[in-house]
Structure 1
Amino acid sequence: MFPVAASENHTAAARPYDDPSNPVSFSAAAAGPTLSSVTPSSGSASGGTTVTLVGTGLTGATSVKFGANPATSFTVNSATQITAVTPAGTPGVVPVTVTTTAGTSNPVAFTYVTAGPTLSSVTPSSGSVSGGTTVTLVGTGLTGATSVKFGANPATSFTVNSATQITAVTPAGTPGVVPVTVTTTAGTSNPVAFTYQNSPVVTALSPSNGPTSGGSTVTITGADLTAVTSVKFGETPAASFTVDSATQITAVSPAGTAGGVPVTVTTAAGTSSAGSASAYFFYANPPQLADIAPTAGPAAGGTAVTLTGADLLNATAVLFGGVSSPSFTVESSTRITATAPPGTGYRPVTVVTPGGTSNSMLYAYVSPPTLTGVSPASGTTDAGAQVTLSGTNLSRTTKVSFGAALASFKIISETTLSAVAPAGAAGNVPVTVTTPGGVSNSVTYTRVAPPGI
């Protein structure tokens, strides 16, 4: 055995290199976070939009930034998702990044838009409860609208025309006012009012007829008549109209042709039905007079006068110089019998119908005739004696009577008649004259038997 030199005698402490080294930990570095999307990708410049970030390696995120500004708050939902609330920003695109201990992610784009949408008007502002009304919404910040609502109901469809205009189709609703709102990623607008209405109904017209020339003031009654945009007689718009209430409209009829036409009312809720007979207006031609008989009568009135012409149906008045006949009967479209009222002189007779006022025919009021004498005052019982009758108001004589017998006669003047005395028994006989003014007093004519009889 070889002696060992003292200088080579090592202990463990003297020879540490002879022992194993102490342990050192080692791990591979984790991959940094990545982002693939942000939803929604835009929001109000005032902040407060809740967004979802999707990516990888998001566990342990220490920061979420929108541009240089940290999110108001964020929650790491999983290694692939973070929910964050946007801070305030300025309009435009900013990069969104997530930072973990492994680094900072790639950016995804988020767009700050101006403050939330506003609405100033909806046109039309009312429509049918059945929906389907196309309306125009005007306001600001409407770009990127995600929802248009009428009350709680979404629009059937809508189109963003510009940042200041949206066209939408109303959903069905119930009668009354609902708020209309627009929602974008920047928020929900203020409401504007839209009124749901039932379709209008026409139940009656007064009057229900008028002249073909138009101009009749017609009261239309019904229901749901507010916000009327059109009143039509057939296919022709009313000359003018006024909405008096939800149940009444006053309209002026346009010109038309003879016959019946439906009167319809249109609102934003639709057009009234044209099926009801009570909603028809009848145009009438103006009446025409061709003849009057008799043409004269007593000042006291009471004469039955026959008027003939055309379009005389539905006559509402027969006027003698502006004075209404106390009674009349419309016998047909061409004939009316009327009772003459009291009057004097010549008076124009007219007929009034829904078609207007007719042309006039003259009617004369005549004073009763009087007789002052007969000359000669006597004659034979044989026929053929010529006599002259004197008096007043004799020019319209229609009959000369010798007792019950009628005489032939000739009108000479207002005060004179020439008559042929009819045959009759000997003796005194009363002579009278009849005119439209009545029957005269009588004068005496004496029949004498011829000599030798």
Structure 2
Amino acid sequence: MAAPALTGLSPNQGPTAGGTTVTLTGTNLGDVTTVRFGTTAAAFTIVSATQITAVAPPGSAGNVQVTAISPGGTSGGLAYYYVALPILTAVSPGQGPVAGGTAVTLTGTNLANLTTVRFGTTTAASTVVSATQINAVAPSVPGGSPGPAQVTAISPGGTSGGLAYYYVALPTLTAVSPAQGPTAGGTAVTLTGTNLLNATTVRFGATSAAFSVVSATQITATSPPGSTGFAQITVITPGGTGGGAAFQYVALPTLTSLSPTQGPPTGGTTVTLTGTNLGDVTAVRFGTTATAFTIVSPTQITATAPTGSAGAVQVTVTSPGGTSAGLTYTRIAVPGI
């Protein structure tokens, strides 16, 4: 009786826990009585004189020789590789946008033979760097729903335990209050929106602003210095960059002349104020007294002098851009008779 011969194993690797169904091909296999993986006998089934299916028994990481034994003798061996179970110990970063695309580093052990990385049930693009590191790109979330996904690594050694990766929703802004302020910055602004809880950066245009996260729907920020005009406000979180609101930088108003520059203490004099950046003025004051006024143009306002004590007062105008320097208006007492 001829000795059995083995010509192929498929697959030729599997987990150390065993259990892999392996197809052995060769010749003179019809009378085989024993199949061994190393020195350990395995359960097997003779399919034909040229094929046997065997179940790999548990083994240690590394390779063993698979042999078939019959009354005719023992075959030569073919190598079967026991692969250790992959283990994940860290995912960095541990969060990213629902749209995917975040470069993620997976750290662990027994990663050299990795074949697949999954975020939840979705396969991710991945590259094996070493036995302890994999680089992966987080895929998008099916359905776009935020929340945790278990990251697992799969190799011939089996499937690792999972580590949580959190998909974060894109932030949005729905309101800014106040919506304007001086070009010098310094305005305390309340931003309202959604998904703001993990904000890392707030920008007015391209300039980062100091801020505090109040809740998932509110942030308080301090406007940085900026140029006259509108700046788009954006919020950056692990979920991405979101916006939807603008802040208007308003130039400081200036006064260059008053006409007339004097009037009676009883008030009532119509005074023409000339200057620049007067289109957004919200208040005109004679000393500390606010008065009625009309904006004629960005360079002219007419105001009604209020009553007051005889003497000089400073006239100022205030807008979201700030308060102007003052010009002198003098109340002259009516001479007695």
> How big is each residue's C-alpha offset from its partner over 1:304-324, in whole Å with a ceiling of 9 and x where there is no partner?
222111111101211222322
The structure-2 alpha-carbon separation of the partners of 1:286 and 1:410, relative to structure 1 and needing over 3 Å to count, comes to farther
Per-residue deviation, 1:384: 4.3
> Residue type of the partner of 1:261?
A
Per-residue deviation, 1:429: 0.8
CA contact (8 A) 1:383 1:423 kept: yes
CA contact (8 A) 1:286 1:353 kept: yes
Between the aligned partners of 1:250 and 1:118, the Cα distance in structure 2 is 39
Query: Who is 2:195 aligned against?
Result: 311
Between structures 1 and 2, the one with greater strand share: 2
CA contact (8 A) 2:59 2:82 kept: no
The structure-2 alpha-carbon separation of the partners of 1:353 and 1:376, relative to structure 1 and needing over 3 Å to count, comes to same
Per-residue deviation, 1:328: 1.3
Per-residue deviation, 1:334: 0.9
Which of 154, 158, 161 aligns to 1:273? It is 161
Which of 361, 364, 372 aligns to 2:245? It is 361
Residue ranges of structure 1 left out of the alignment (5+ in a row): 1-41, 45-115
Equivalence map 1:87-106=2 (5 Å): none
> How big is each residue's C-alpha offset from its partner over 1:249-283, in whole Å with a ceiling of 9 and x where there is no partner?
22222332111222222223332224xxxx21112
Between the aligned partners of 1:146 and 1:311, the Cα distance in structure 2 is 66
Between the aligned partners of 2:199 and 2:47, the Cα distance in structure 1 is 59
> Residue type of the partner of 1:200?
P
Query: Who is 2:118 aligned against?
Result: 232
The structure-2 alpha-carbon separation of the partners of 1:122 and 1:448, relative to structure 1 and needing over 3 Å to count, comes to same
Q: CA RMSD in A?
A: 2.5
Aligned length: 332
Which of 208, 216, 227 aligns to 1:333? It is 216
Query: Who is 1:433 aligned against?
Result: 317
> Residue type of the partner of 1:188?
S
Between the aligned partners of 2:116 and 2:208, the Cα distance in structure 1 is 39
Between the aligned partners of 2:302 and 2:48, the Cα distance in structure 1 is 102
Per-residue deviation, 1:300: 3.4
Per-residue deviation, 1:383: 4.8
Structure 2 residue 138 is matched with structure 1 residue 253:
yes
Equivalence map 1:11-160=2 (5 Å): 42-44=1-3, 116-123=4-11, 125-127=13-15, 129-155=16-42, 157-160=43-46
Equivalence map 1:180-259=2 (5 Å): 180-184=66-70, 185-197=72-84, 199-234=85-120, 236-256=121-141, 257-259=145-147
Per-residue deviation, 1:426: 1.6
> Residue type of the partner of 2:54?
A
The structure-2 alpha-carbon separation of the partners of 1:174 and 1:218, relative to structure 1 and needing over 3 Å to count, comes to same
Between the aligned partners of 2:8 and 2:290, the Cα distance in structure 1 is 95
CA contact (8 A) 1:312 1:353 kept: yes
- 1:228 is paired with a residue of what secondary structure? coil
TM-score, normalising length from structure 1?
Answer: 0.67
Between the aligned partners of 2:124 and 2:24, the Cα distance in structure 1 is 32
Q: Percent identity?
A: 48
- 2:297 is paired with a residue of what secondary structure? coil
Q: Which segment is superposed worse, 220-229 or 344-353?
A: 220-229
Q: Which segment is superposed worse, 371-380 or 175-184?
A: 175-184
Give every structure 1 segment of 4 or more consecutive aligned residues whose post-TM-superposition deviation is greater than 6 Å.
none
- 2:307 is paired with a residue of what secondary structure? coil
> Residue type of the partner of 1:248?
Q
Per-residue deviation, 1:164: 4.7
CA contact (8 A) 1:148 1:181 kept: yes
TM-score, normalising length from structure 2?
Answer: 0.87
Residue ranges of structure 2 left out of the alignment (5+ in a row): none
Which one has a bigger Cα radius of gyration?
1
> Residue type of the partner of 1:210?
G
> How big is each residue's C-alpha offset from its partner over 1:402-422, in whole Å with a ceiling of 9 and x where there is no partner?
222333433332212233333
Q: Which segment is superposed worse, 304-313 or 265-274?
A: 265-274
